Structure 1
């Protein structure tokens, strides 16, 4: 993903001047009469995301005014610069604003994210405007955030015929190789031999074998942080088949694994002093003669038996085996990401991931970090009385439970059975997809919660 940054301004560089609806009138009073007249006559109101191209006396481009969000430092918001790359003519630009380093980094990150396009299967989009690095911006951090976001978006946007369990494992191996991490993959029937029975059960119906991806990085004496991501590369619903309309976006059902790998990339690239482990159960939920069935009773890695309430609730099954393995090493924390329930989207919409945590301090840190980096989360409760809904007359647990209410909560409570109460655990139920395009956030796969989790880890271990 080319971010179109340059190191230095030149005499011909064009200023990008942030103004807001509230500050425009004051700015016009200080501008040259010719410039003020042009801006007024153009009808520019400084609405966020709009621009006014101001010509010089010779007909060239003298300045660009752009509408910034209302903030203490206009131009320093994460998405202030994001609308500009497709709107600017070819040229070299610099941000005409005095920003604190954190604000400069935010602004540059938004500029970088705006250059993302998923164009693997079509002609590439090339923006022609270049931005001089804003003074004080942390260039390494901007690049790190943009590349990790691009990784998550790319993985989610790839169609299932291009990204199966094997290709997801290859992407994980490439990431591991880049940072000299170790990776192991347990595939097919070996999942049974290694005691991952629910990962195998969910994925066995597909022609492409299921697998568990396991990445390890960092020094052994550092605090253990384990990330788990749901990697259902396509979810047909299994024998409880989804209708066609509900299947259209199901290539994104591996969105949890994309978040996990993106967060891992951020941790490794920043060289955070943690002992990192990443676990991704990668499967396709397909239909065939050996598909698992409603009311089947499955064994789990933990030893609990699970009665299948619906084969379209498969993500929690593969996550349960992965969480059991994650918990076996007693890490300092387990962080998991998954596109788990439609109920979370009904409760919070598509843009705000649901956060569950068994540790109040961890939850508070994540919510605070999300606010700081404009990557918002909303905490839902692990309401213990609802565990009664997960009772089964035939097995230790029902995978879906009864009642039809609180689906996101009961799914999180199901997962909680596979994590020790002594282990700090945070679970994110997310959309991983932008339903509509916004500046810096094109329609399609999205990293959600990744920057918030990374910020939390940086504050704890950086």
Structure 2
């Protein structure tokens, strides 16, 4: 789908978004018949309430949506989108009740509420509830973000049978063609020739050739490199996952899907950066030539890695890509990956934890995440845990024992390859486990919207 606001000038029903505490003051501005109708129908401004108010001819003259209380809004995201589903099909314009960041967030939620993944089933189109772009809103930017969200969801929701390394490459090439970017791909045994040994090692057991996808766009401004984990399906390798843990592994390329969505937003908005997107795309499969527990791999950077668990493969493919990224000394490197279960234990599925040593970047991300309903939370690069990733027999251990601080030790592992420049790592879930307003169960963009809004500040634009 291509989310878009209704064309300006389209006949639209006025929509008033009313917080419970503001209802009385709003009613004071209305004629007696409107006041009587609202009171008689028990509208209080509570969360999820909607009400059509008739005009003199009996046809709807306006619609009301309850906007709850500030405390409830802190607990429930995209309230307008949730309430809008109870309104009849038609076109609406926000007449009162929203401004600033809340207006942008709710308008974005309205657009993405229309998302549905229908590739594999016949489904009648849902009743359309269109919205006129509110005055004072950068409608193009909101539409851009909504399109990026839908791209990310589509990529994650597609099953691994139709979203392997080649299909992920095709998605990157399609995006590049749309925005006049370039793509270079290193595939199969050429990974060994070009010194990406760990990407090759993880992906070599699958008949679907591993590859490194390298997209570039822009020729001026700060250098920004995005690195996304593209494990298109993760069996766990020889350390095979149990069935319950393998069920969602089509989403293990969620980091790649998120950086492609973010790249789309950056290119569509014309952000003045030199953008590079690196995606190591592999399938972690099982066969006679699979890499083994106890193997020692030599990375692109030259650091050796002892394999203590083949199910800790994401950090291996990211390590080679991060080493390549660091060789150009960009102004900022950002990695995004569905990397550890430990991150989910720490913050749950709804929050995107991130790691950085850059205080200004951390503050910018926190502000952007809060204002755009894209919750992020900083976790520490805790230096004393460096000892946990040093096994003694090799430079690094890909799966330290003990069961503690798994998200932190994984992030520390990646930092070893990201160079000495500015680096931010996101350990995301990329999945909504239950349907909520504007967020159906399934693939999800996490952290990428906060990044998009924070990047100008982070890069001095």
TM-score, structure 2 normalization: 0.94
Q: What residue in structure 2 maps to residue 250 of structure 1?
A: 249
Distance of 1:120 and 1:47 partners within structure 2 = 36
Distance of 2:357 and 2:162 partners within structure 1 = 37
Distance of 1:118 and 1:412 partners within structure 2 = 32
Distance of 1:31 and 1:244 partners within structure 2 = 60
Q: What residue in structure 2 maps to residue 91 of structure 1?
A: 90
Judge conservation of contact 1:233–1:254 (CA < 8 Å) in 2: yes
Q: What residue in structure 1 maps to residue 423 of structure 2?
A: 425
Query: For the structure 1 residues 390 and 98, does the alpha-carbon distance in structure 2 shift closer, same or farther, using more than 3 Å as the test?
Result: closer
Shift of 1:259: 0.9
Shift of 1:436: 1.2
Distance of 1:101 and 1:361 partners within structure 2 = 23
Judge conservation of contact 1:338–1:429 (CA < 8 Å) in 2: yes
Distance of 2:364 and 2:130 partners within structure 1 = 36
Q: What residue in structure 2 maps to residue 65 of structure 1?
A: 64
Judge conservation of contact 1:357–1:426 (CA < 8 Å) in 2: yes
Distance of 2:318 and 2:200 partners within structure 1 = 12
Q: What residue in structure 1 maps to residue 133 of structure 2?
A: 133
Distance of 1:179 and 1:9 partners within structure 2 = 30
Distance of 2:447 and 2:124 partners within structure 1 = 28
Counterpart mapping for 1:133-172 below 5 A: 133-172=133-172
Which region of structure 1 is more displaced relative to structure 2, 357-366 or 166-175?
357-366
| Residue 174 of structure 2 corresponds to residue 174 of structure 1 | yes
Displacement over 6 Å in runs of 4+: none
* Secondary structure of the structure 2 residue equivalent to 1:273: coil
* Secondary structure of the structure 2 residue equivalent to 1:44: coil
What is the CA deviation profile of residues 354-409 of structure 1, one whole-angstrom value per residue up to 9, with x for unaligned ones?
11012222222222222222212111111111111112132111101132100000
Shift of 1:70: 4.1
Counterpart mapping for 1:52-451 below 5 A: 52-70=51-69, 79-97=78-96, 100=99, 103-122=102-121, 123=123, 125-219=125-219, 221-420=220-419, 422-451=420-449
Distance of 2:185 and 2:366 partners within structure 1 = 33
* Secondary structure of the structure 2 residue equivalent to 1:322: helix
Shift of 1:48: 2.3
Which region of structure 1 is more displaced relative to structure 2, 47-56 or 274-283?
47-56
Distance of 2:89 and 2:343 partners within structure 1 = 43
Computed over aligned residues only, the root mean square deviation of the Cα atoms, in angstroms, reads 2.1
| Residue 456 of structure 2 corresponds to residue 458 of structure 1 | yes
Judge conservation of contact 2:391–2:397 (CA < 8 Å) in 1: yes
Distance of 1:125 and 1:289 partners within structure 2 = 47
Distance of 1:164 and 1:32 partners within structure 2 = 61
Which region of structure 1 is more displaced relative to structure 2, 62-71 or 241-250?
62-71
Distance of 1:55 and 1:197 partners within structure 2 = 68
* Secondary structure of the structure 1 residue equivalent to 2:51: strand
Judge conservation of contact 1:102–1:137 (CA < 8 Å) in 2: no
What is the CA deviation profile of residues 88-109 of structure 1, one whole-angstrom value per residue up to 9, with x for unaligned ones?
2132221111754655433322
Judge conservation of contact 1:104–1:135 (CA < 8 Å) in 2: no
Distance of 1:414 and 1:2 partners within structure 2 = 38
Distance of 2:9 and 2:78 partners within structure 1 = 22
Which region of structure 1 is more displaced relative to structure 2, 145-154 or 367-376?
367-376
Judge conservation of contact 2:17–2:98 (CA < 8 Å) in 1: no
Which region of structure 1 is more displaced relative to structure 2, 122-131 or 233-242?
122-131
What is the CA deviation profile of residues 406-426 of structure 1, one whole-angstrom value per residue up to 9, with x for unaligned ones?
000000011111122x31000
Judge conservation of contact 1:115–1:127 (CA < 8 Å) in 2: no
Which region of structure 1 is more displaced relative to structure 2, 178-187 or 23-32?
23-32
Distance of 2:2 and 2:222 partners within structure 1 = 35
Shift of 1:136: 1.5
- Structure 1: gaps (5+ residues): none
Number of residue-to-residue matches in the alignment = 456
Judge conservation of contact 1:49–1:67 (CA < 8 Å) in 2: yes
Judge conservation of contact 2:5–2:139 (CA < 8 Å) in 1: no
- Structure 2: gaps (5+ residues): none
TM-score, structure 1 normalization: 0.93
